[in-house]
């Protein structure tokens, strides 16, 4: 883990916020090191006889992980070099290309500290998925469901970490009808590459349950689903020919220019190919 502090945005910060939340600090589990995270870190440092500077370096990381008793005690669930080599062989891609895409497009870590895959539940997608199943979403809108069922996209209900499972389970439990469970899982992005559940059947899984079951296994399965998604959407050729802008445009959408995804991919490729 690298040293991080106030103002940093990275996958390490997400992991930090997970650990702090597990230790009962009131932080939003996200990849941004904001004021609340800074306060929590300083309080933790004070209570654990560490230098109170808000900087999460080796000593603070070590103490946090020990106190948090992270569920990922082994690397058996994490992506390996062999996973990336197998992927490059399966899709006839340079290993440097695969590593570049993995660095830029993956979520940093596919699992929460408790060992479950990282997820993000989308309430506006849940609305659409219910409609696909001939269920009227508005029938189920009330004061208790405003955070899981809404017509238009918003980020304000994102909680991150284990709290996303609370939202997912809340959606599933709206009705014993299996359609609700399927719709909820289809409205959730899963594991390292955060492929939405509604892609499961189109990219080759028998159903969304099979996809979710695979996402619980390891990050290698998430990489497989990513490859299936790229193949289905005819994006492999762009990577094979290193057409970074074309790939980024199709995969990330118009925002790729603002976020410079094509430049990030090109730089990552140059690093790995050297």
Residue 207 confidence (pLDDT): 98
Residue 62 confidence (pLDDT): 87
Determine which helix (DSSP H) or strand (DSSP E) holds 61, and give its type and residue range. Answer: helix 58-68
DSSP letter for each residue of 10-34 = SHHHHHHHHHHHHTT-----SSB--
Please list the pLDDT of the chain residue by residue as tens digits (274 residues).
789 999 999 889 999 999 999 999 999 999 999 999 999 999 999 999 888 999 999 889 989 988 876 555 456 788 889 999 999 999 999 999 999 999 898 877 888 888 899 999 999 999 999 999 999 999 999 999 999 999 999 999 999 989 999 999 999 999 999 999 999 999 999 999 999 999 999 999 999 999 999 999 999 999 999 999 999 999 999 999 999 999 999 998 888 989 899 999 999 999 999 8
Beta-strand runs (E) in 128-269: 188-190, 195-196
The alpha carbon of residue 148 and the mean position of all alpha carbons in its chain are separated, in whole angstroms, by 18
- Structural domains of the chain in order of their starting residue, each with its CATH number: 11-68 (1.10.101)
**Token digits for 186?**
């289809």
């Amino acid at each position: 883990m690298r040293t991080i502090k106030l103002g940093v945005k990275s996958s390490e910060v997400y992991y930090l916020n997970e650990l702090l939340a597990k230790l009962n600090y009131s932080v939003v589990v996200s990849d941004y090191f904001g004021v609340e995270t800074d306060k929590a870190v300083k309080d933790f440092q004070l209570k654990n006889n560490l230098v109170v500077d808000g900087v999460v370096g080796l000593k603070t990381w070590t103490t946090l992980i020990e106190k948090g008793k992270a569920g990922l005690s082994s690397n058996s669930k994490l992506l390996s070099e062999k996973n990336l080599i197998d992927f490059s062989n399966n899709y006839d891609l340079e290993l440097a290309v695969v590593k570049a895409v993995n660095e830029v497009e993956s979520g940093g870590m596919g699992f929460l500290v408790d060992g479950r895959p990282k997820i993000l539940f989308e309430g506006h997608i849940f609305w659409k998925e219910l409609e696909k199943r001939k269920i009227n979403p508005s029938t189920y809108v009330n004061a208790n469901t405003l955070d899981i069922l809404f017509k238009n996209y918003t980020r304000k209900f994102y909680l991150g970490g284990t709290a996303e499972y609370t939202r997912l389970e809340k959606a599933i439990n709206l009705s014993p009808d299996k359609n609700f469970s399927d719709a909820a899982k289809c409205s959730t992005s899963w594991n390292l590459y955060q492929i939405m559940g509604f892609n499961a059947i189109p990219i080759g899984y028998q159903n969304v349950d099979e996809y979710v079951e695979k996402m619980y296994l390891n990050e290698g399965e998430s990489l497989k689903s990513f490859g299936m998604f790229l193949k289905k959407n005819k994006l492999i050729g762009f990577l094979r020919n290193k057409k970074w802008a074309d790939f980024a445009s199709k995969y990330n959408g118009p925002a790729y220019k603002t976020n410079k995804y094509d430049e990030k991919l090109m730089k990552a490729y140059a690093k790995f190919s050297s």
